[in-house]
Amino acid sequence: MSTEPTSIEGSVTPPSSIDSENSGVGASSQTKWTTGKRKATPQRSKVWSHFTKIINSKGNSTYLISDTVQNFERSFEKFEEQDTNFRAELERGKGWPSVDDWANARNLRDFLEHFYEVTLRIFGTSYVTSNNFFNELFEIDILLRYAQLNSNVDFNVMAIKMKKKYDKYWGDIDKMNLFMFVACVLDLRQKLKYLEFALSEMSSSEKACEMIQKLKESLYELFDEYKPPLHSPCSQSSVPTHVSLSEPQQKMKRRMQALYKKRELENGGENKTSELDNYLAEANEDFVEDFDILLWWKVNSPRFPTLSKMARDVLAISVSTVASCFKVCI
C-alpha cells in the first residue's frame, strides 16, 4: 500500500540517510534537507534533540510528557528573571530552550494528542466501540501520511517509524477482520458509501471494490441468518392442509426457490426489497458528537426489526481486551 497521501500538493525530498537511533545525539552532525523552495532547515539545538531522545523511549506516555513540558515555557522566563545565573548554568549543559524548541514541543504535543485520544476512545468500556474502530484507523493512516512530510527531521523520522509499524498490522485491508466492516455498515453515519471512500484512500480503488463486494455478500448472508422463519397462518390447525415432504424433497424445493430468486434478481424482475436494502438506500446521517447508536437502533427497531437484532449483537462485540495503557513504541 502506498504511504504517499493522495491529496497533498507539492513534492518533498526526504532526508537521504537518517539514523533513527542517533537522530538526537549532536547538533554539529545533523542532516540538512530541503522541500520545494523552502530554505534549508537550521541545525537543531541540543535541547530539542535531548527531548526527542527521551520521549522516543517512553512509549504511550509520550503525549503526557510533551503536554507537561510545553507548559514550562513561562517558568523558564520567570527563573531567568529571579536568578541571573540560571541561563548560564543551562548553557553549560544541554543548553537554553530556544523559541524554535518550544514551537517544536507544541507541534509534537498537538500531533501526539490525536493518538492519545484515539487510544481512549478505542478502549472505552462504557460505550460502543466496534462501529468506530475502522474510522479511527483511517484517521491515523491519514495523520501519519501527512506527518511524514514534516520539515522537522526528528518529527519526520518519528512519523516514518510509526507509519512502518502501523502498516505492519493494518497496511493490508485484505487482512482486516470483516466484522469490523460489518459494524461500520450498521453505523448509519458510515454505511457502505463512507466505507468505500475510506478503503479507496487507504488502498487502491480495485482492492476497495473487491472488499466492498465481499462485504456485501457476507452482510446479506448474515442478514438471512437473522430473518425469522416464515410460518403459515394455518400451521396450528389440527386438520392437515398439505402433504408433508420428505427431507430430500424439502431441500430440493428450497434450492429451486433460491435459484428462481437469484434469476429474478439478475433480470431485475424482483421489486420487493428487504430491510437491509431499504437501510442501505437511505441517506447517511451526519457525524455528530455524543451520537447514541444503540438508542437510534432501539427507536428505529419497528422499521428495521431484523436489522436491529443484528445490530444489537454486532455492536456488542468488544474491539479488544488489551488494556488502554499498553505501550506503543515510536
Asked if 120 contacts 60 with a C-beta cutoff of 8 angstroms, the reply is no
Query: What confidence tens digit (pLDDT) does each residue in 310-320 have?
Result: 999 998 887 76
Domain ranges of the chain: 1-8+18-26+43-226+251-330
d(CA 115, CA 109): 10
**Stretch among 160-169, 253-262, 307-316 having the lowest mean pLDDT:** 253-262
pLDDT of residue 50: 47
Query: Contact, 97 vs 76, CB < 8 A?
Result: yes
- Residues of the chain with pLDDT > 70: what percent? 61
By residue count, the chain amounts to 330
> Cα(304)–Cα(297) distance, rounded to whole angstroms?
8
Q: Is the pTM of this model over 0.75?
A: no
Q: What string of DSSP letters covers 75-135?
A: HHHHHHHH-TTHHHHHHTTT----HHHHHHHHHHHHHHHHHHHHHHHHT-SSS--TTTHHH
Under a CB-based contact definition with an 8 Å cutoff, are residues 190 and 135 in contact? yes
pLDDT at 237 over 70: no
